[in-house]
Amino acid sequence: MPKVSALDMPDVPMGQLPEHLQLQRTRVVCKADAPIHTEAIQYSGAYASMGVDNSLQLESFCNNFKIEVIRLTEDEIEFDMIGIDASLANAFRRILIAEVPTMAIEKVLMVNNTSVIADEVLAHRLGLIPLNADPSLFEYLSENDSPNERNTIVYKLDVSCKKGGPRMTVKSDQLKWLPSGSELEMTPPNQSAKPKSYTSFSCSQDSMPEFSKKPLGVKHEDIIIAKLGPGQAIELEAHAVKGIGKVHAKWSPVSTAWYRMLPEVVLLKDIKGDDAEKLVKKCPVNVFDIEDLGNGEKKAVVSKPRACTLCRECIRGVNEELVELRRVKDHFIFTIESAGALPPEVLFTEAVKILEDKCDRVISDLS
């Protein structure tokens, strides 16, 4: 950036930036071919000659940062994060995808499978079914631990299609929770040894207070697992454990988590008459509207800038000098779609806690 002295701009008071520099500092301008001013200006003394401190101040961040919830449903939340850097917004996105734990089927004990789906493919399909289980109530299962009521959920699937009958669709609601643990027995190493179960539950999970009110079933009961023809059958036992998305995608708690900068659409000049009508028709998401000025005069106005998808149709051709598309650098529209295991608002809260723990570890290592 070229050095600019405040003496060269007597009409700009000390402590304030001229309009063009403030635009570069706070906005990404989207031209017809490519965006400009995309880099964040991090150097604290970038505007020192004009009396502006560009350093990050904790007090200023606390005063300016805020979150506004725009939309909240059972499986999705959209909210605005205002006053943060893109790196921090991206940190939340990555944590949501890869580091917030959930429960998922990890081990499948196949007793009988005469369907057309191979054992390993069937096990993979079962692992992707969202489970209605709170991961905070469970512990991680390490290599040295035995499966117990605190780290494992056991499900059973036993279905068959009668010979001579119609084809049968196997859905996720046919997975039955076994609160007392595995019903299968391991093959003993020698005939004199007593057979053992694959799990070591000391008590039934449905007798524990945290599980008695809410059965540990599946989140969606209409997920198709397989289709059986006459005479085919599936009998298996599935063991679910706690994990995170960076190990395998089946533990990722979100179907997607994404963000975008807040759109800002600016009309540089009044657009009236037929030009206004053409501008409104160019936008596929109805960002613009027509305002009636009276006496048969009309002009274009920006009615829904938030809906802008940056298709750039409005700035192509003759309109490039009339309309300017911008993005606010410190204002992010964040969307979280839960896979079903946890509500979307809880997912973001858990991501904040994980980032806080990371920061505490760094501070502890530095000190």
pLDDT digits (tens, 9 = 90+) for 39-71: 888 888 888 888 888 888 888 888 999 999 999
Tokens of 338: 């839960």
Whether 33 has a pLDDT exceeding 70, the answer reads yes
Whether 2 has a pLDDT exceeding 60, the answer reads no
Looking at residue 321, its pLDDT comes to 84
Beta strands 102-113 and 233-243, pairing class:
antiparallel
Count CB neighbours of 128 within 10 A: 13
Whether 6 has a pLDDT exceeding 50, the answer reads no
Q: Over the stretch 192-208, which tens digit does the pLDDT of each residue have?
A: 667 788 999 999 998 88
Count CB neighbours of 220 within 10 A: 14
Looking at residue 1, its pLDDT comes to 44
Q: Over the stretch 261-273, which tens digit does the pLDDT of each residue have?
A: 999 999 999 999 8
Phi/psi at 112 (5° precision): -155, 130
Looking at residue 187, its pLDDT comes to 74
Across the strands, what pairs with 338? 254
Strand positions, DSSP E, the chain: 27-30, 35-36, 66-72, 76-82, 102-113, 153-160, 168-171, 176-177, 224-228, 233-243, 254-267, 288-294, 297-302, 323-338
C-alpha angle 219-80-24 in degrees, rounded to nearest 5:
140
Band (8; pLDDT cuts 50, 70, 90): very low
Tell whether pTM > 0.75: yes
Q: Over the stretch 173-182, which tens digit does the pLDDT of each residue have?
A: 999 999 999 9
Section 139-162 average pLDDT: 94
Q: Over the stretch 67-101, which tens digit does the pLDDT of each residue have?
A: 999 999 999 999 999 999 999 999 999 999 999 99
Q: What percent of the chain has pLDDT over 90?
A: 71
Domains, the chain, ordered by start: 16-97+257-268+322-333 (no CATH), 102-251 (2.170.120.12)
Cβ burial 6-16 (10 Å sphere, 16+ → b, else e): beeeeebeeee
- Name the residue with tokens 């300017």: 324
